[in-house]
């Protein structure tokens, strides 16, 4: 690293990805810092810089030898799974500092030697104690998928065979035998040992609100254009399986939009002010690709000048708004994404967002990583 670049980093102070230490003596303490960086976004520990003032104190040759050995021991023996770090000694106007670069972990969650999980909290660190946070770390490492989490209070009585049978026979062109229900659940990864997982409940549950009460759509029709309005035209929770929520959400939006003639005869029913395919694509996208680790509803807000669809969870796998506009997609819920389109009578292939933009460009996207949500805003046209 160049000296000027390092000085600029030091001048900007500590952050989630940058930490200063004047010296390091405790292998347990430094290993916990490494665990926190690995479980978050990665980052750098700059040793030889005062964390209170940002002044470069520097290190002696003996300090550098000792600290490098201590850091190596911490990374190899005190972080589970071990992480691979790099160190660099840089001379800043005659004062040497060590820059330890810690990559974001690929086997999250990493723990310290005592099995404690640490993550960054601003420039500090904290322990992970909630199951939801732990689940997200596992998801990011590819070791756990929310849709495959078993619902321990479920049973085969919660599985809607009358809905599954026609679906299976149409999709696979084979007769479905009720006595083989357990086999179907396991083969299609909808559950195991007589219990449904989240995907199984969302696709074929009999009483979804009982099985997974936090997964629904909050639909509100506002009188104006601000979310702070305390009186609504209407407000309701749209519950059910994915296809049921989709149908209710679609009807909710379409019933609030105006019809325009769009070159048709005066006696025609007219077309929706926003093309119906846009509503379909974006609502399907929200239901299929939301983060089911987050126990919250999809927010469907209809204002006078826009429609907002807000899904729990930021874009997966480091996707950006610009990438999804170009049709790049990465699925978060593979089981739901493979089976839900058949239930939704929806045969789109590729990116629904790209198709929506091609049909109606007046759409904005906000990937709120800190707030763990993804918002789509469809601006309504100004009609005479």
Residue 286 has pLDDT above 90, yes or no: yes
- Examine the domain organization and report whether 201 and 227 are in the same domain: no
Query: Domain ends where: 188, 211, 234?
Result: 211
As beta bridge partners, residue 101 has: 44, 86
As beta bridge partners, residue 367 has: 374
Write the CATH number for 287.
3.30.565.60
Long-range Cβ pairs for the range 233-240 (8 Å, 24+): 237/297, 238/300, 239/208, 239/209, 240/208, 240/209, 240/216
| 3-state SS, residue 27 | helix
Query: Domain ends where: 162, 193, 211?
Result: 211
The dihedral built from the CA positions of residue 327, 330, 332 and 336, taken in this order, carries a sign that is: positive
- Examine the domain organization and report whether 55 and 119 are in the same domain: yes
Q: Is 342 exposed, middle or buried (0-12, 13-18, 19+ CB in 10 A)?
A: middle
Residue 86: its H or E element: strand 86-92
Residue 283 is encoded by which pair of tokens?
A: 């609502």
Polymer length in residues for the chain: 384
Write the CATH number for 90.
3.30.950.30
As beta bridge partners, residue 97 has: 90
Residue 48 lies in a domain: yes
- Average pLDDT for 144-170: 92
- Examine the domain organization and report whether 17 and 66 are in the same domain: yes
Nearest to 227 by CA among 286, 299, 313: 299
- Examine the domain organization and report whether 88 and 222 are in the same domain: no
**pLDDT tens digits, residue range 241-270?**
999 999 999 999 999 999 886 655 555 567
**158 near 211, Cβ under 8 Å?**
yes
Residue 278 CA to residue 348 CA, distance in Å, equals: 12
pTM of the model: 0.66
- Examine the domain organization and report whether 228 and 366 are in the same domain: yes
Residue 202: its H or E element: helix 198-204
pLDDT of residue 259: 86
pLDDT of residue 320: 86
> Which of 201-205, 209-213, 299-303, 341-345 bottoms out in mean pLDDT, i.e. has the lowest?
341-345
Domain encompassing residue 154: 147-211
Q: Rounded to a whole number, what is the distance in angstroms from the first to the last CA of the chain? A: 60
As beta bridge partners, residue 196 has: 191
Residues of the chain with pLDDT > 90, as a percent, come to: 64
Q: Give phi and psi for 131, each to the nearest 5.
A: -65, -35
The full DSSP string for 210-252 is HHSTT-SEEEEEESSS-TT-S-EEEEEEE-SSHHHHHHHHHHH
């Amino acid at each position: 690293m160049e000296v000027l670049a390092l000085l600029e980093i030091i001048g900007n102070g500590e952050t989630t990805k940058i930490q200063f230490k004047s010296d390091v003596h405790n292998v347990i303490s430094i290993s916990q810092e490494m665990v926190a960086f690995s479980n978050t976004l990665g980052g750098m520990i700059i040793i030889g810089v005062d964390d209170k003032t940002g002044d470069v104190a520097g290190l002696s040759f003996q300090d550098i030898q000792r600290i490098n050995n201590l850091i190596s021991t911490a990374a190899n023996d005190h972080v589970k799974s071990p992480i691979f770090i790099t160190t660099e000694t840089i001379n800043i106007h005659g004062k040497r500092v060590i820059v330890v670069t810690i990559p974001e972990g690929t086997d999250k969650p990493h723990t310290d030697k005592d099995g404690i999980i640490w993550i960054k909290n601003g420039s500090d660190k904290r322990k992970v104690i909630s199951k939801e946070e732990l689940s997200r770390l596992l998801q990011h490492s590819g070791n756990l998928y929310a849709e495959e989490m078993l619902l321990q209070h479920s049973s085969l009585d919660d599985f809607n065979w009358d809905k599954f049978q026609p679906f299976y026979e149409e999709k696979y062109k084979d007769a479905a035998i009720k006595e083989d229900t357990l086999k179907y659940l396991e083969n299609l990864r909808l559950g195991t040992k007589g219990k449904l997982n989240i995907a199984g409940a969302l696709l074929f549950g009999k009483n979804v609100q009982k099985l997974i009460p936090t997964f629904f759509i909050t639909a509100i029709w506002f009188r104006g254009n601000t979310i702070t309005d305390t009186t609504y035209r209407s407000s309701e929770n749209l519950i059910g399986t994915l296809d049921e929520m989709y149908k209710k959400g679609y009807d909710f939006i379409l019933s609030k939009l105006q019809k325009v003639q769009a070159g048709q005869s005066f006696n025609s029913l007219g077309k929706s002010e926003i093309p119906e395919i846009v509503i379909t694509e974006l609502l399907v996208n929200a239901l299929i690709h939301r983060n089911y680790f987050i126990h919250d509803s999809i927010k469907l807000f209809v204002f006078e000048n826009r429609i907002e669809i807000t899904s729990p969870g930021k874009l997966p796998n480091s996707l950006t708004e610009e990438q999804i506009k170009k049709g790049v997609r990465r699925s978060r819920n593979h089981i739901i994404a493979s089976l839900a389109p058949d239930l939704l009578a929806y045969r789109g292939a590729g990116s629904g967002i790209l198709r929506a933009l091609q049909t109606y460009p007046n759409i904005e996207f906000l990937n709120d990583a800190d707030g763990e949500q993804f918002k789509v805003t469809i601006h309504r046209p100004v009609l005479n």
